[in-house]
Chains A and B, each alone.
Chain A
């Protein structure tokens, strides 16, 4: 009827469809914003409330009694060393495991089991990692509540992060390169160390940065394995200031410190709470921005 007479104008049915489509599109957009806007608002609010407290002194001073005054230097150092030690533990194992899975492992049930083990490891809740850390490192291996035990716990927890990033980075190197090298008489290891690994560094680095971010932010795994609310350490001398902790002693950490000042102590000035939160989240966001910038920069330098 009207369709036949005016084939290029939209029928009523089509106009209704078009309207429905517009509604849907705006709904999707609204959902996206419903997620992003509140988060951005909250983060800004965090920094606003923390502003009165944030200062160079805040970062470089130790917490005062009960954390009601002073700064966050000791927790900051604790987090720093936690990240360092856990990275030193997990990076070699994780990267080599990734190399094994992608380059050497035959295509059989055993390899599939390994892949499933990595996935399972990723699915373990953080508090269960804490329980494991207590059972394995604190008790059985006798490390006690310490920086070492907590670092080991975090290391086990972040194995999947490094393994997955390594695997993906290795898989991105085209098979044709490897075959070209094998046909020239290079061994598998020679091929890996001269072609595959050097061209996977960027992807592996992304995984490393992700591990750093997780190690800095996680609270549950360090709850019973080494983090404490306060330590009796003086940081008078310079080397005690930059390396206050002993691997075998408990330590303070930013994530746990936030938990303590937010909930455990009455009469905590608001600024102190927000200050810790703000520094922690700034740290995490900076670390992750590194990762993102690194990826963008590396994509522009593609060698093939």
Chain B
């Protein structure tokens, strides 16, 4: 029996080696394929929006808040996406206000104060948190948080900017925590020891030594958090209420306004948009804008992260 297994292993070994030239081709092709896929994404999205692109009134798109794909009788559809852009911007901004301080604080705690089993457990919890899918957060926002907001703040609707931002921040926090923690860990212990030896308190070490040293990674973490927030679909869709209004004045009350983000717009309107029609194509245009923003954020923050990886190794 052993002889047979051995024989198979030898044959397999010989076959694999003889196939090396072919295998090499397959490996190279797979490597190059990622470029192909990125190009394909751009290609197919632009393809679907192509007919309408020359006719898009970009001024109206970016600055007018009238998104009326199905207007009342006799009127022409208008695609002013300012309100939707505001929706994405607002959710991103508010969720980052929540997620960045919390995430950074948690990262500092895990990296600098927690030890042993506590540290291990916390890191595992963050990892599990990161795994919770968008739809669950949307569900939580819609079914659990909404009534709470209605009660606590005495407002009529619980699905609004605040709700959506809370949910998105819960999705961005694990990302911010893990990358910030990585970059704090990359700062050599000798920095900490030197500062402590000079009489600095733990907090001073963190604030005056670690933050400046890790600022690249912390910046990257924030950017990735922003990227996450911009691209989030289900959580925002289910928790945000679905109206694209831009508030007239800047007060805390805007937190309770309903909003509509770019992602949610595409998700909610696509099923009803007749294939190949104007509405359908405009949704792809929104997709293009979304794609450009997200890819830009990701590429920049990755370049920043490459700085930390080099220092960590």
Contacts and interface: CB of A to CB of B under 8 A. Distances in A.
B297 A123 contact: yes
- If over half of A's interface residues share one DSSP class (helix, strand or loop), that class is named, otherwise mixed; here it is helix
Interface stretch (A27-35, A52-60, A61-69, A70-78): A27-35
Contact of A259 (B45, B103, B135, B227): B135
Given A20-B203, A131-B48, A136-B44, A32 B133 contact: no
Q: How large is the interface on A (under 10, 10 to 19, 20 to 34, 35 or more residues)?
A: 35 or more
A217 B40 CA distance: 24
Interface stretch (B105-113, B149-157, B245-253): B105-113
A289 B201 CA distance: 38
B5 interface: no
Interface in A200-232: 213-214, 216-220, 223-224
Interface residues of B, number: 79
Interface stretch (A1-9, A80-88, A186-194, A240-248): A186-194
B160 interface: no
B201 A35 contact: no
Given A29-B113, A45-B144, A135 B132 contact: no
Contacts of A148: none
B133 A255 contact: yes
Contact of B17 (A28, A189, A216, A263): A189
B31 A100 contact: yes
Contacts of B127: 288, 292
B79 interface: no
Interface string A237-269: 000000000000000000100110011000000
Interface string B248-283: 000000000000000100110011000000000001
B135 A258 contact: yes
Contacts of B124: 292
A280 B136 contact: yes
B34 A118 contact: yes
The 3 closest A-B pairs by CB, nearest first: A123-B298, A100-B31, A217-B133
Interface of B: 16-17, 20, 23-24, 26-28, 30-35, 37-38, 40-41, 44-45, 47-48, 101-103, 105-106, 108-110, 113, 122, 124-125, 127-129, 131-136, 138-140, 142-144, 170, 173, 201-204, 206, 227, 230-234, 238, 263, 266-267, 270-271, 283-284, 287, 290-291, 294-295, 297-299, 302
